[in-house]
Amino acid sequence: MTTTKKIKSALISVFSKEGLEPIVRKLHEQNVTIYSTGGTEEFINNLGIPVVPVEEVTSYPSILGGRVKTLHPKIFGGILNRQDNETDVQQMREFEIPQIDLVIVDLYPFEKTVASGANEPDIIEKIDIGGISLIRAAAKNFKDTVIVASVNEYAMLLELISSQNGETTLEQRRLLATKAFHVSSHYDTAIFNYFNTDESYFKTSIADGQILRYGENPHQKGFFFGEFDNMFTKLHGKELSYNNLLDVDAAVNLILEFKNNEPTFAILKHNNACGLATRKNIKDAYLAALSCDPTSAFGGVLIANSNIDLATAKEINSLFCEVVIAPEFDEEAVAILSEKKNRIILVQHAVELPQRQVRTCLNGLLVQDRNTITDSKENLKIVTNTSPTAQEIDDLLFASKICKNTKSNTIVFTKNSTLVASGTGQTSRVDALKQAIEKATTFGFDLKGAVMASDAFFPFPDCVEIAHNAGITAVIQPGGSIKDELSINFCNENKVAMVFTGTRHFKH
């Protein structure tokens, strides 16, 4: 039997009628018998096109307030019958079941209803039963039946039936079935997550995905699944790569810590801040951030918590950078920054980030709550005889925010609302500290009066001793070591202020 099938009959039952008219007209032009229900039937009638009500096939009216319309053997038999199976063919004749070659469904908008803040009864009514059953039945029987399960596939269907005179190939039907099962599984996942309160279950489904040029390296495939356009408006530049997206994610999380601060500018490289400063205006913030480590800034990702103006853009334009992000840009600033063909310019929108973080691990997944704790003045416990000054407290909290968003083990130095240097991703905290001191020295920073943040406690006093000798006058750390007193005693003996936060900020 040929694998090419001619569409002679169609069942159409959709929520959204957008884009449906040209399909219906094309089907009518090709003498396709159309079956339909409720609002869709009325829509087709209003086009002046003949339509057979499902009730005429089932001899049952739509009942229970429209909850039951298509759930009937004569409908599902017409969809699920195997045309090369003699028993199926015989039973189709015996029970006078009409053949249905094409099913078009658009489900009730469950996710949109939940997102709208509707009450539970309204949400429950938007759980589609008949539609989801039609999708699964037609997709299962893709060998004989065409399934279109979403408005998103209307254009594809119209192209197929127009260019092929109503015929479809097995490969095309299988592709549409794959898309249909994606629709149904995504829909069921959304419903499950609405009801689920058991944290031991994890289900996710992301409908929008894009193929990236490659992964971390050219020999690796890369994909992004998410709603990037909800978070950003891209004004200029090349397509974002896998590594760009990782850096953008790190940048967004970092600048979120400073969203209520005065103008703040951050420069990131390989997911870590290599420059960050807060000033009275964004230009000065950028120049101060750049001075921290202009070498690492080359090819970095730049992000601001406020509007980027023309003066700032002129300064940025002399630096080779991959991405520039801000909540706003002056038109003149965009024009300047766009002079570099590949430079990516993103306007960041205020979108809430997921409260769970997911990553692959071994043959499964690790899932954790987002680290939403930002250390504040109220959290600080002064554990030394010397108390930090008001300026030191500001700098300690500034350092803590950066430390939280830097790869462990990490040490961060700040001074006057500026990142001075950091040691990142080291296998020991002493190594991280020494790296930070070396970087500060390399770029001519005086550490006298600077403060230090650590993402975890000090098991020995060696770090505070090395830091003190370099000029550090105040330290912020979570505390919690059984040998905390050793570090505290050293600080007391040398008039260094130390505060505990009680919160560790590992970032592996």
Confidence at residue 173, expressed as pLDDT on a 0 to 100 scale: 95
pLDDT higher than threshold 80 for residue 71: no
Q: What is the distance between the alpha carbons of residues 171 and 259, in angstroms, rounded to a whole number? A: 51
Average pLDDT over residues 150-170: 93
Q: Does the structure show a pLDDT above 80 at 70?
A: no
Closest Cα partner for 329 from 266, 417, 258, 236? Answer: 236
Residue 487: pLDDT band with limits 50, 70, 90: very high
* DSSP 8-state class, residue 327: S
- What pLDDT score was predicted for residue 257? 96
pLDDT at residue 186, rounded to an integer = 93
Report which of 356, 366, 352, 344 is spatially closest to residue 235, judged by C-alpha positions: 344
Query: 8, 143, 270, 314: which is the annotated catalytic residue?
Result: 270
3-state SS, residue 126: coil
Residue 273 has a pLDDT of 97
Q: What radius of gyration, in Å, describes the C-alpha atoms of the chain?
A: 31
Measured CA to CA, the distance from residue 479 to residue 484 in angstroms comes to: 7
Whole-structure pTM value: 0.85
The Cα–Cα gap between 227 and 205 comes to 12
The mean pLDDT of 178-185, rounded to a whole number, is 94
Measuring CA to CA, how many Å separate 330 from each of 43, 233, 309? Answer: 47, 14, 5
For all residues of the chain together, what is the average pLDDT? Answer: 93
Q: What is the pLDDT of residues 33-66, one digit of tens each?
A: 999 988 899 999 999 999 998 888 887 777 787 7
User: How does strand 411-414 pair with strand 419-423?
Assistant: antiparallel
d(CA 130, CA 140): 15
DSSP-derived 3-state class of residue 214: coil
Residue 2: is its pLDDT beyond 70? no
Q: Using the 8-state DSSP alphabet, how is residue 352 labeled?
A: P
Check: CB of residue 313 under 8 Å from CB of residue 203: no
Return the structure tokens found at 428: 């020991």
Average pLDDT over residues 453-467: 95
Residue 274 has pLDDT above 90, yes or no: yes
Q: Hey, how many other C-beta atoms are within 10 angstroms of the C-beta on 46?
A: 10
DSSP 68: B
Q: How far apart are CA 325 and CA 266, in angstroms?
A: 10
Amino acid 209: pLDDT = 83
**Residue 140 catalytic?**
yes
Asked if 270 is an active-site residue, the reply is yes
Q: CB neighbours of 220 closer than 8 A, spacing ≥ 6?
A: 214, 242
Structure-block tokens of residue 416:
């006057």
Q: How confident is the model at residue 67 (pLDDT cuts 50, 70, 90)?
A: confident
What confidence score (pLDDT) does residue 61 get? 77
DSSP class per residue in 20-45: THHHHHHHHHTT-EEEE-HHHHHHHH
Say whether pLDDT at 82 is over 70: yes
Flag whether pLDDT at 1 surpasses 80: no
Of the pLDDT bands very low, low, confident and very high (cuts 50, 70, 90), residue 102 is: very high
Question: Which of 97-111, 187-201, 310-324, 347-361 has the highest average model confidence (pLDDT)?
Answer: 310-324
CB atoms within 10 A of CB 430: 17
Whether 179 contacts 344, CB under 8 Å:
no
CA distance 315 to 136: 57
If phi over 0 gives left and psi between -120 and 50 gives alpha, with beta otherwise, what is residue 117? left
Query: H/E/C letters for each residue in 153-187?
Result: HHHHHHHHHHHCCCEECHHHHHHHHHHHHHHHHHH
Under 8 Å between Cβ of 299 and 321:
yes
66 DSSP β-pair partners? none
**What tens digit of pLDDT does each residue of 117-141 get?**
999 999 999 998 888 999 999 999 9
Q: Which of 140, 143, 234, 434 is catalytic?
A: 140
- Amino acid letter at 30? Q
pLDDT digits (tens, 9 = 90+) for 385-406: 999 999 999 999 999 999 999 9
Specify the pairing of strand 474-477 against strand 497-500. Answer: parallel
Residues 127, 118: Cα–Cα separation, whole Å: 13
Written as six digits, the tokens of 470 are 């370099």
